[in-house]
Structure 1
Amino acid sequence: MNSTKRNHTMKRRNFNALLAATATSLLGLGLTGCGPSSGSSGKGSDTFIIWDYESDDSAMGQAWARAVEIFKEKHPEVTVKIEDQTFEQLQKNAKIVLTGDDVPDIMEYNKGNSTAGQLASQGLIEPLTEQATERGWDTKLAASLQTTARYTEDGLMGDGDWYGVPNYGEYVFVYYNQDMFNAAGLSVPTTLKEFEAVCDAFVAAGQVPLAEAGSEYPMGQLWYQLILAHADRSFVDAYQLFKSDVNWTSGPVKQGTDKLVEWIGKGYIAADSAGLTAEDAGTAFINGSFPMFVSGSWWFGRIVSDMAKTNWDQFLFPGANLFPGSSGNLWVVPANAKNKELAYDFIDITLSEEVQAILGEKGGLPVAGDPATIKDDKTRTMTDNFAQINEKDGLAFYPDWPVAGFYDQITSAMQSLINGSKSGEQVLADLKAAYEEGKAEIVVED
């Protein structure tokens, strides 16, 4: 998900929360605009139709523009037609549109059980396992990136056939104001204990260390990151993919929650942050009101431009081997697409060295690129850190992904912790109830 077409709240309100949100008036989704050339899966057409929702000046938009040029060079007999959609249009209308004949040949779509998984389970998008093997996509993408590409026959993410292919990624790390660190005589921490020592030093100087937001995703992601600092891949598989039961009274969830409660009590997080938005937190960091901001790569371009006169940098959350993050959106091929082979060729091109290099240079986090080719130091650092995470299978997705409506449950829980209206134990009891109820609706026991 990128932030160029929608606000940060929508960016992190996952596929489940988006589908659960109150429906608003929708624009048409190209029901009459594709023309007969985009019809059923019969003979091929000389018009290749792409649907995406990235802005032209985004990293993805610029990289994919080059991919289209390469595609045209390879297939000069084909006319390429790019039709801009919006995230919300495809999120709400894809199931309806893809049952008809007027479909694109390839489209950008969101990953997850209730989005790509649902389309896969309904037979609306083409299985890509054979192509992934023959074309080497399965060797280019790290295991945690492949998780979002694969779905069971019931539409559950993480297993079964490939139904989509990502070509960029996103993850959460720590942005920090180096001027404020230097003024306080502090260095970048490399362990969780050192991170707490840095926070203690700022608090002692009367400075709240972390820019936070309780009414949107940042606080929930910090909670999850603290859980991940005590977790391993088996926990992620249990929490995200339901491969085993999650323990809500001990282990990583309890340890991470206890640590967050401790941090709130020690003043690492401002008391008024319960009502703040992601925009509030990000802007406060950009303006120099806080020395650190734990958030995602989707803020990178904004911070680069808005903090051009400030000495800032980034580091991975210390003391963890797992991090909130995932692949970006997927390329999917509608089952009724007319030019499936051309769609596979286009996916190949977006994973090519040249296109991935453009993604990397523009800060788009390539999934198969070489960070060493990136000229800008900060962009190279962000991309290199992402590559290192992928090499260690370190992406752990996002805390609200497992069940429908969990984003709102987590947000409410974080606000309760910040304002002290509930204890950690009470919050975990509430979250466990919501999680287990949602899981029961998804997983049918044999």
Structure 2
Amino acid sequence: MLTARRRVAALAAAALSGALLLTSCGDSDSGGSSDGKTLKLWHYEAPNSAMGQAWDAAIKEFKAKHPGVKVEFEAKGFEQIQKTAPMVLNSSDAPDLMEYNKGNATAGLLSKQGLLTDLGAEATKRGWDKKLSAGVRTTSLYDTDGVMGSGKWYGVPNYAEYTMVFYNKDLFAEHGIAEPKTFDELTAAMDKFVADGVTPLANAGAEYPAHQYLYQLALSKADRAWVDAYELYQGKTDFHDAAWTYAADTFADWVKKGYISKNSTSSKAEDAGVSFLQGKSPIFFSGSWWYGRFQDEAKFDWDTFLWPDSHLTLGSGGNLWVVPKGAKNKELAYDFIDITLSKQIQTLLGNKGGVPVAADTSAITDPKSKTLIDNFNTLAERDGLAFYPDWPVAGFYDVLVSETQKLMTGGAKPDDYLDALQEAYDKDVPKR
């Protein structure tokens, strides 16, 4: 996401909306009238992304295992699903299975509203609970308040994700800049690009990653207790503490220094990714969901590194497969989820630039993909996944976007920005 995610997924080609007709034979579960002959599937992954390619392969596998069923697949945009999900899931147009953003403000909110199916029995029966590590599983479970980490299974992560610094090795070489190993070296590299007339950071203010840059800056001064207080309400969140204050001040300073273009205020995530792909921006801090696309489309030498001098970074289990409460063919949905978690599909995802949750890692042959997965394992082992800034409360994504835009334009000072976040957070944070 980012998301988040969402963050996150302006990658999706909503224009691809259409149907793939396939077949199977299964009976459906409860959830309205059903003939067991159609699986209605929505997701928002780009066709050439690792997830998009893996889910295409999963559809073919589903066809082989279910002769006789029609699969109606519709590609949706991330924002489209984010904004319309509650309304659609309350109607007769709900799909049988859809990808949805994880976290309290998204999947948690839908579970609290009674719009999602409890998948706990299927997770146990089909072994999903054994395939997913504890850290990845956090976003599957939601309590009666819609808070992640405990309660019932309302979603199944189909991959993992984390943020990293993508950098254009050719541009770095052209400007005589070595790969940064420390935060000071990163800022020195950005100073050199600015001096050479190049805006270093690909950015988008109308969606992510602008507020994700800011959250990462805060995380570099934070610890696990800070994250748990903010994301899981296990303590009080003070937006004027040292971490948030440093983040807001530093981000505003980066705009002044020219690391971030003020013209990117109205840009979307897709614009930021394309700016990096076209070789215009030497640095892009974003998520592993871009990795497969960059492998496929980039015409220059590029690489990645984890945000320097920070124990924590944004990341989690990936977006969720959720089964709407009113889905007409739930059993078919469960079968499809099962296929996406198979070693075959998960290994394909890993080789195409995704972060698998249930792959045969010895079968990952692509060197860049091995690095991607190794870095994720490094983060997971050090408990370094800190989720996303928009997760804690419903509607916080929009608050972060609009307030960070004001910080970029100078319409709000850092203190004003932090005041606005505190007010929006406190207003909607659940009483625990």
Distance 1:364 1:96, change over 3 A: same
Alignment correspondent of 2:368: 378
The answer to whether the 8 A contact 1:326-1:397 is kept is yes
Any idea what SS the aligned residue of 1:211 has? coil
Give the number of equivalent residue pairs. Answer: 414
List alignment gaps of at least 5 residues for structure 1.
14-26, 30-35
Q: Does 1:361 align with 2:351?
A: yes
What amino acid sits opposite 1:126 in the alignment? T
Q: 1:96 pairs with 90, 95, 103, which one?
A: 90
C-alpha distance in structure 1 between counterparts of 2:424 and 2:75, whole Å? 30
Alignment correspondent of 1:184: 175
Alignment correspondent of 1:116: 107
CA deviations over 1:384-437 (Å, ceiling 9, x no partner): 323332333332222222223323322233233333333212211121112211
The answer to whether the 8 A contact 1:38-1:104 is kept is no
With 173-182 and 363-372 compared, the bigger mean Cα shift is at: 363-372
Aligned ranges 1:21-420 → 2 under 5 Å? 38=28, 40=30, 47=37, 49-53=39-43, 58-68=49-59, 70=61, 79-87=68-76, 88=80, 91-97=85-91, 106-133=97-124, 135-308=126-299, 310-335=300-325, 343-420=333-410
The answer to whether the 8 A contact 1:178-1:311 is kept is yes
Q: Does 1:430 align with 2:420?
A: yes
Alignment correspondent of 1:24: none
Distance 1:86 1:66, change over 3 A: closer
Percent identity for Structure 1 against Structure 2: 47
The answer to whether the 8 A contact 1:142-1:390 is kept is no
Distance 1:352 1:254, change over 3 A: same
Give the Å deviation of 1:375.
3.1
CA deviations over 1:240-289 (Å, ceiling 9, x no partner): 22222112122321222233233334332234333444344333333333
C-alpha distance in structure 1 between counterparts of 2:116 and 2:138, whole Å? 17
C-alpha distance in structure 2 between counterparts of 1:274 and 1:41, whole Å? 43
With 143-152 and 335-344 compared, the bigger mean Cα shift is at: 335-344
Give the Å deviation of 1:299.
2.9
Give the Å deviation of 1:2.
9.4
Any idea what SS the aligned residue of 1:148 has? helix
Q: TM-score w.r.t. structure 1 length?
A: 0.79
With 37-46 and 383-392 compared, the bigger mean Cα shift is at: 37-46
CA deviations over 1:46-72 (Å, ceiling 9, x no partner): 646352335665533442344455556
List alignment gaps of at least 5 residues for structure 2.
12-16, 20-25
C-alpha distance in structure 2 between counterparts of 1:28 and 1:373, whole Å? 33
C-alpha distance in structure 1 between counterparts of 2:416 and 2:327, whole Å? 50
C-alpha distance in structure 2 between counterparts of 1:280 and 1:362, whole Å? 22
Distance 1:9 1:59, change over 3 A: closer
The answer to whether the 8 A contact 1:170-1:297 is kept is yes
Alignment correspondent of 1:11: 9
CA deviations over 1:210-260 (Å, ceiling 9, x no partner): 222333322111001111111222222221222221121223212222332
CA deviations over 1:46-99 (Å, ceiling 9, x no partner): 6463523356655334423444555566x66x64332223544672444324xx
Give the Å deviation of 1:190.
2.3
The answer to whether the 8 A contact 1:67-1:350 is kept is yes
Distance 1:418 1:316, change over 3 A: same
What amino acid sits opposite 2:69 in the alignment? V
Give the Å deviation of 1:103.
7.1
C-alpha distance in structure 2 between counterparts of 1:69 and 1:283, whole Å? 30
C-alpha distance in structure 1 between counterparts of 2:175 and 2:164, whole Å? 21
Distance 1:45 1:418, change over 3 A: closer
Distance 1:353 1:243, change over 3 A: same
Distance 1:253 1:144, change over 3 A: farther
With 261-270 and 192-201 compared, the bigger mean Cα shift is at: 261-270
Alignment correspondent of 1:33: none
Distance 1:419 1:148, change over 3 A: same
Any idea what SS the aligned residue of 1:173 has? strand
The answer to whether the 8 A contact 2:105-2:396 is kept is no
Structure having the higher Rg: 1
C-alpha distance in structure 2 between counterparts of 1:95 and 1:189, whole Å? 46
Any idea what SS the aligned residue of 2:147 has? coil
Distance 1:169 1:80, change over 3 A: farther
The answer to whether the 8 A contact 2:86-2:110 is kept is no
Alignment correspondent of 2:22: none
What amino acid sits opposite 1:11 in the alignment? A
Any idea what SS the aligned residue of 1:294 has? strand
Give the Å deviation of 1:108.
3.6
Give the Å deviation of 1:28.
13
C-alpha distance in structure 2 between counterparts of 1:209 and 1:62, whole Å? 31
Q: CA RMSD in A?
A: 3.7
C-alpha distance in structure 2 between counterparts of 1:339 and 1:265, whole Å? 54
